[in-house]
Structure 1
Amino acid sequence: MPPVTRNLIIATVLVFLLQLSGVGGALAPFALWPSPLNVLAAPWQLVTYSFLHGNIAHIFFNLFAVFMFGSELERVFGPRRYLMLWFAGVISGALTQVLVGMLFGMQAPVIGASAGVFGLLLTYGVLFPKRRVVLLIPPIPMPAAVFVALYGALELFLGVTGLQTGVAHFAHLGGMLGAGLMLRHFWRSRRPR
C-alpha cells in the first residue's frame, strides 16, 4: 500500500479508537459544525472532521474505498499531488456543507472521510472511465465512469429531496467538486506555456 494512503488509514483508525475509548466527547470540537462563524472561529474543522466516524460500518466503508481507489491514484499522482487531491475533496466538501447549512439551516455536525472518498471516486472515474467497478451490495459490475455518474446523481437526488437524513450528501458532492478542480489544475500545470 502506498505511504500516504496507508498513513491516512492509520490516522483515521487511531482517531476512531480514541472515539471508542470514551474520549469521544472531547473530540466534538473537531467535528465540522456547519456555520460560517464557527468555521472562522475553528478553521481546523475543515480538515479534522474527516478523521472522525460515527460507527464501524461508517469507517469500514470509507477506508475500504480509500484503500481501493486511493492506492492506485497515489501511484499515478505520487504522494504530494495525491495528498493535494485528497485535501481538496475534504476541504471543498466541508465548505459546500457549510454553504448548504447556511442556506437551509442545517446545523448538525458533520463527520467522516466521505468527501475525500468522493473526490477519489470522481478522479478514478475520470482517469479510468472504462475500468470495471463492482458494487458491494448488490454486486453489479459497471464501468467506473458510469458508477461515478450514477453515484453523484443519487447523492444530488438524496440531498435535494431529503429522503435520507443524517448523511452529508452535499459534502460528498463538494468533495467531487474539489477533486475535479484540483485535477483540472494538475492538467493545466502540465501544459507547456
Structure 2
Amino acid sequence: MDSPEQPAPESPREPILTLPGALTVYVLLLAAIHLRVLLPPQLEYWTIEVFGFIPKRYDSTLLAMPFPGGSGAKLWSFVTYSLLHANLSHLGFNVLWLLPFGSAVARRFGPARFFLFMAVTAIAGALAHLISHEHEVAPMIGASASVSGAMAAAIRFAFVHGSFLSFRQGDADAASQVPALPLSRALRNPRVLAFLGIWFGVNIIFGIGSIAIGVDGVSVAWQAHIGGFFAGLLLFSLFDPVPRSGRSAADAASPDAF
C-alpha cells in the first residue's frame, strides 16, 4: 500500500532587507548622537564647536581664535564631525545612501575594517575641506565624506557580477565575496565610468550652485565628499580581505557582467 505523499518543506523566507550588524550599529550611533538636538540651544551648539570640524581651529597666525575643546579637538574632530548632523533631513539623506553602499562594504570588510574605513574616509574628507576652506570659522558636520568613501569602495567590486543592491541576503552576501577589480581595470569598466560621471556631476552642481540641503539651509561641503570618495577608491585594497583573482577581471569584461 502506497504511503501518502509528504508535503515538501517550505524554504525559509528571507527578510526583505537585512543590514549587516556593523552598519546597524553605525546607523544607531548616528541616531543616538543626533538626540543632542534636544539639548538647550546654547549647549547643543557647544557640542558642534567641540566635535565639529572647524578649519579656523588650525590657524597659527595672530588672527587665531580659541575654540572649545582645546588641543584635543584638533585631533578628534577629524572623525567626530562625521557623527554629527545639522537636522533630521541631513541625517536621513546620509543614512539613505548608506543602506545600499554601506551594506555592501560592511558585509565585505567585517566590523573592524568597516569602522576603521569610515574613520579614514572621514579624515580624508576633513583634510580636503581644510585645504579648500582655510581660515573658515563655520563648523563642518555630517557623514557625507564617509558615505562617499563607501560608494567608491563599493564600485570596486559591485559591478563584477551579482548585485549588491539585491534585496535578497544570499545575493548580497555572494556579491560581497566577489574578487575586486584592479583599479586600472575598474576605471575602464563602462558601468563604473557612468557611475563616476553621475557622482562627480552631482557634486560639481553642488559646488557651482552653492546648493543647500535641509530646512536650515546647510551648505554642502562637496570638497569633503570628493576627499572621502578618492580615499575610498584608492585605499580600498588596504582594507579588502577578499583575495584577488585574475579570473574576476576577465568576468567583469563580459557583456553580462554586473
Give me the TM-score of the superposition, normalised by structure 2: 0.61
Change (3 A) 1:156 1:5: same
Q: Aligned with 1:127: secondary structure?
A: coil
Amino acid at match of 2:210: L
Cα pair 1:101 1:107 within 8 Å, conserved: no
How many residues were matched structurally? 180
Q: Map of 1:54-133 to 2, 5 A cutoff?
A: 54-102=86-134, 105-129=135-159, 131=163
Identity over aligned pairs, percent? 28
Point out the structure with max Rg over C-alpha.
2
Aligned residue in 1 for 2:168: none
Query: Structure 1 residue 6 and structure 2 residue 6: aligned?
Result: no
How much has 1:132 moved relative to structure 2? 8.7
Which segment is superposed worse, 76-85 or 2-11? 76-85
164, 170, 183: which one aligns with 2:211:
164
Structure 2 Cα separation of the partners of residues 4 and 132 of structure 1:
16
In structure 1, the gaps of 5 or more residues are: 134-142
Superposition deviation, residue 162 in structure 1: 5.2
Indicate the residue corresponding to 2:44 in structure 1.
24
Q: Distance in 1 between matches of 2:243 and 2:198?
A: 30
From the superposition, tell whether residues 180 and 40 of structure 1 become closer, same or farther in structure 2 (CA, over 3 Å). Answer: farther
Deviation at 1:72, TM superposition (A): 2.0
Aligned equivalents of 1:20, 1:176: Cα separation in 2 = 32
One-letter amino acid matched to 1:128: A
Distance of 1:4 and 1:118 partners within structure 2: 17
Residue-by-residue CA offset, 1:24-79 (whole Å, 9 max, x unaligned): 12312111102334799321111111111111111011112222221221111212
Q: Distance in 2 between matches of 1:187 and 1:73?
A: 9
Q: Give yes or no for contact 2:117–2:239 (8 Å, CA) kept in 1.
A: no
Question: How far 1:9 sits from its partner (Å)?
Answer: 0.7
Aligned partners of 1:128 and 1:144 also within 8 Å: no
2:54/2:136 contact within 8 Å kept: no
> Which structure's residues are more often helix, by fraction?
1
Over the aligned positions, Cα root-mean-square deviation in angstroms equals 2.9
d(CA) in 2 for partners of 1:181, 1:57: 30
Paired amino acid for 1:24: E
Unaligned runs of 5+ residues in structure 2 are: 1-18, 60-66, 166-190, 213-218, 245-258
Taking a change above 3 Å as real, the CA distance of residues 11 and 132 of structure 1, as seen in their structure-2 partners, is closer
Question: For 2:164 and 2:195, how far apart are their aligned partners in 1?
Answer: 9
TM-score by length of 1: 0.79
* Runs ≥4 residues deviating over 6 A: none
- Give 1:116 deviation, angstroms: 0.5
